[in-house]
Amino acid sequence: MKKGTVYSWGSAIIIFIVLMIVTPTIPQSQAYHDFADQRSFLWIPNTLNVISNFPFLIIGLIGLVLCFFPGNYFRFSLRGERIGWTCFYAGVAAVAFGSSYYHLHPNDDTLLWDRLPMTIAFTSIMAIFVIERIDEHKGTYSIFPLLLAGLVSIFYWRFFDDLRPYAVVQFVPCIAIPLMAILLPPMYTHSTYWLWAAGFYLLAKVEEAADKPIYSWTHHIISGHSLKHLSAAMVPVFLTLMLAKRTVQTERTSLYKTWKISWARSKGKGSEEERFDHSYSNVAAEETR
């Protein structure tokens, strides 16, 4: 492993240790397991919260099949991409089982199996972004350490009743990925799909927080937590669409720069530059004698 990679990991570990020292522990609230919709249909406890996880299984399996589809369907061209996306889709498919198992009997023990596959998906996405936007070698080397960090955060929470490491693993990608998607030049086209995915994940978190109010607003038809599962499942849907549509970017330009140029053109600032750039395009070269 190169020195730069070692220094990056070393700095991240030091920052994490400092945060663990200066911040108080965050225990798991038992009120978290008190969901609004606790109805049972066909002898399935908390039915809608259980079956609303089914889309994760479908999109996860589709993604896994397409990762190894003949002809390189997803156009993988960087080292470690296939491994990273395979881990991501495996985590997504496993969410269907882990989250369903948890919602059958919501408690701290079953919650462990809900959070494990989600953590695999989070950390895989971070590694994929490093591969595509920063350095394919560093990103490839980071897959296993990131997965390990995610698993350690889960077991640390379960054994010490402290959510701080898990909060870092869950929320750092939520901040870092949209920022990197906007600021860093992409290797592939259709980069805006990352922002759509981030938007649906943000919507899912809002619906989770508004579980009971949404259940009341919909006259007990569906709860915020069930809607959260459906919105969160849209994240891998948009990422799969991105992978299916994308091609290698010929000119790597960040979304921020693209938006800035578009804004300037809409204000008329780019018209003069465009005329200057193309003013000699139709002038025939004089033949030398």
Q: How far apart are CA 13 and CA 202, in angstroms?
A: 27
DSSP 8-state secondary structure symbol assigned to residue 131: I
State the DSSP code for 140. Answer: H
In a domain, 140, yes or no: yes
CATH number of the domain where residue 249 is located: 1.20.1070
Position 106 in a domain: yes
Give me the domain span that covers residue 223: 47-264
Residue 109 belongs to a domain: yes
Report the pLDDT value the prediction gives residue 277, as an integer from 0 to 100: 42
What's residue 251's pLDDT?
A: 81
Q: Over its length of 289 residues, how does the chain's per-residue pLDDT go in tens digits?
A: 556 556 666 776 787 777 778 889 999 999 999 999 999 998 999 999 999 999 999 999 999 999 999 989 999 999 999 999 999 999 999 999 999 999 999 999 999 999 999 999 999 999 999 999 988 998 999 999 999 999 999 999 999 999 999 998 888 888 888 888 999 898 999 999 999 999 999 999 999 999 999 999 999 999 999 999 999 999 999 999 999 999 998 888 888 888 888 888 887 755 444 444 443 334 444 443 3
At 262-271, the pLDDT tens digits run 888 887 755 4
Rounded to whole angstroms, how far apart are CA atoms 9 and 15?
Answer: 10
pLDDT of residue 175: 87
Task: With respect to residue 21, please indicate whether it lies within any of the assigned structural domains.
Answer: no
Amino acid present at 281: S
- Distance of alpha carbon 223 from alpha carbon 38, whole angstroms: 10
In a domain, 3, yes or no: no
How would you classify residue 72: left for phi > 0, otherwise alpha for psi between -120 and 50, otherwise beta? left
The per-residue pLDDT for 7 is 63
pLDDT one-digit tens code per residue, 269-285: 554 444 444 433 344 44
Q: Please enumerate in sequence order all residues whose Cβ is within 8 A of that of 210, keeping only pairs 6 or more positions apart, or say none.
A: 224
Domain-embedded: residue 6:
no
Q: What is the pLDDT of residue 2?
A: 57
Number of domains in the chain: 1
Supply the pTM of this predicted model. 0.86
- What's the CA angle centered on 33, arms 30 and 37, to 5 degrees? 145
Q: Please give the backbone phi and psi of residue 188, each rounded to the nearest 5 degrees, phi first.
A: -125, 165
Quote the pLDDT of residue 5: 56
126 with 146: CB under 8 angstroms? yes
Q: Which of 92, 117, 99 is nearest to 50 (CA)?
A: 99
Residue 38 is assigned to a structural domain of this protein = no
Alpha helices in the chain (DSSP H): 3-22, 47-51, 54-67, 81-104, 108-129, 136-160, 164-183, 192-209, 211-217, 224-245, 255-266, 271-278
Looking at residue 287, its pLDDT comes to: 41
Question: Does residue 18 sit within a domain?
Answer: no
